[in-house]
Amino acid sequence: MRIAVLGADGYLGWPTALHLSARGHDVVGVDSLVRRRWDEECGTDSLTPIASIADRLARWQSESGHKIDWHQIDLCDAAAVDELIRTTQPDAIVHFAEQRSAPYSMISPRHGVETQVNNVVGTLNVLLSVRDHAPDCHVIKLGTMGEYGTPNIDIEEGFIEIEHNGRHDRVLYPKQPGSLYHLSKVHDSHNLDFACRIWDLRATDLNQGVVYGTTTDETALHPQLVTRFDYDGIWGTVLNRFCVEAAVGEPLTVYGKGGQTRGFLDIRDTVRCIELAALNAPAAGEYRVYNQFTEQFSVLGLAEKVEHARAAHGLPTTISHVSNPRREKEEHYYNAKHQRLLDLGLEPHGLSETLIDHVIQTVEANVSRVRRNTIEATIDWRKGGHVYAGGRAPALAALAGIGG
């Protein structure tokens, strides 16, 4: 298949492009490289050193013998997206190319608007372009489990059957996202559903949980193929942050009570799920939703897993409960279905102690690169995106125009 990977320079897009290329698909890689600019703006950086896109592409070609057809394009540029889709005629598009940090979207009004414009307009441009230039193309879009929030009922895969006043229907599952970023994904989901109903496009919305790990069969081939590892207060995801905090001797920052429960998955399962979705396209006019995660953990449970894994190596860890900078339920019911990718053949990797060991080893190997002044989470949901004054994150405080 010819598969366009949008966001191919990112944490997940890069390993996915390699995975699909290694399996003989004709991969078109697309990215504006805006994430590298956002890192500069925030004073943040990947813990793992990541090569320039030119070096990555050349290294992949020399290691594998496969070439990725590269396009540097901003998806908000409708004419450029049209040209891309018209000339490359992909069988499938895998769309990762969004601003993906919840804290970033809550920094200031500018960051909230930038997030929603970037994500919603980019996705809409892709859908309109597919309608006009490649209507049979299967759009595989990365959504997020956080679209659903934490309702007090079971979470279904995209749709819910309801009885109302004696009548029955199947409708999109209600959404209660917790950040302007997560909300942008809800808007995307509605646009995808609309495009399938009105224009007969075919789309898969992958509501993914929090991904951990950096190593796939392909990224392990050479240091220049490694993917990014975010740990700072803006881009860092929770397991990465805990492992880095422990490595530099700081307490793990469990926000509030720590009963917040989320779905998680290994990066090797992400690339496999994308492949499974691509190989099993929906019918024209079908909008389908898969919940893409393999296990669920509370934040406190995750901290305790890190503590145990480190203890097995004689490494000390302290767990702290810090004031929660976000607005979210800290104790709640959580039972999200995630059957449909298993039905397609996914064989999940578990977050075993071994895997935690692997993440810990990645951190220990790169610990000299940790920027300690970016670890603290400074973006406060309640104050409308203000930054804690007097914090230890001057780069992040400067970003929001507030002294720190």
Out of 208, 215, 224, 260, the residue judged to bind ligand NAD by CB under 6 A: 208
**Cα–Cα distance measured from residue 297 to residue 262, given in angstroms and rounded to the nearest whole number:** 6
Known catalytic residue: 87?
A: no
Task: Bin 335: left if φ > 0, else alpha if -120 < ψ < 50, else beta.
Answer: beta
Number of Cβ within 10 Å of residue 323's Cβ equals: 10
Number of Cβ within 10 Å of residue 279's Cβ equals: 13
158 binds ligand USQ (CB under 6 A): no
**Cα–Cα distance measured from residue 218 to residue 187, given in angstroms and rounded to the nearest whole number:** 33
CA distances from 77 to 31, 117, 276, 402 (A): 12, 12, 30, 32
Which pairs from 80-83 meet CB under 8 Å and 24+ separation?
81/125, 81/126, 81/129, 82/129, 82/132, 82/133
**Binders of ligand NAD among 109-168, rule CB under 6 A?**
118, 122, 142, 144
32 binds ligand NAD (CB under 6 A): yes
Nearest to 232 by CA among 397, 44, 48, 396: 44
The listed partner (ligand USQ, ligand NAD, none) that binds 265, CB under 5 to 8 Å by sort, is none
User: Which CB atom, from 50 or from 395, has the smaller least distance to ligand NAD?
Assistant: 50
**Cα–Cα distance measured from residue 80 to residue 83, given in angstroms and rounded to the nearest whole number:** 5
254 binds ligand USQ (CB under 6 A): yes
Measured from each CB, the residue nearest to ligand NAD is 10
100 binds ligand USQ (CB under 6 A): yes
Out of 119, 237, 270, 362, the residue judged to bind ligand USQ by CB under 6 A: 237
Known catalytic residue: 144?
A: yes
**Binders of ligand USQ among 283-302, rule CB under 6 A?**
299
Least distance from ligand NAD to the Cβ atom of residue 169, Å: 28
User: Which CB atom, from 13 or from 258, has the smaller least distance to ligand NAD?
Assistant: 13
**Binders of ligand USQ among 354-383, rule CB under 6 A?**
377
263 binds ligand USQ (CB under 6 A): yes
**Cα–Cα distance measured from residue 373 to residue 360, given in angstroms and rounded to the nearest whole number:** 20
Which member of 11, 104, 148, 181 is catalytic?
181
Known catalytic residue: 388?
A: no
SS3 of residue 281 by DSSP: coil
Catalytic amino acids? 144, 181, 185
- The residues of the shown chain that bind ligand USQ, judged by CB under 6 A, are 100-102, 144-146, 182, 209-210, 237-238, 241, 253-255, 260, 262-263, 299, 326, 328, 377
